[in-house]
Amino acid sequence: MYPTTPDGRYFVVRGRLWRCSNPALPEDVRQHWVNALMDARRAVKAAKHAEDLQALKQARAQVDAAKQALGERGEVWWTDGSADMNRRMARNTVYADWYAGLDEASLK
């Protein structure tokens, strides 16, 4: 389990913020897109193994579509106008103080 920002928008891996899925998605919709994402990731792996560039391009587009549907990419799912800090280092964001206060055990 990775630490999640107090507002629930991001989780942190190796100091970097990654946007969480939209918590307002109905469970059945969320599960559909999680399944689609896993299928797409398997397709990326298979295309790489087969060295099929066209299949790889298509599979990566499917990954992106699933991540956008989940709210992990694209338009943000919150409505308060806060900027998206996806993929930024936590120490360089408004979460810097929160991140600095985490203990070592929660960062592994």
* pTM confidence score: 0.87
Instruction: Reduce the DSSP state of residue 22 to 3 states and report it.
Output: coil
Examine the domain organization and report whether 16 and 29 are in the same domain: no
In the predicted model, what is the mean pLDDT of residues 8-28?
97
Examine the domain organization and report whether 16 and 30 are in the same domain: no
62-91: per-residue pLDDT in tens?
A: 999 999 999 999 999 999 999 999 999 999
Residue 100 is part of which domain span? Answer: 1-20+80-108
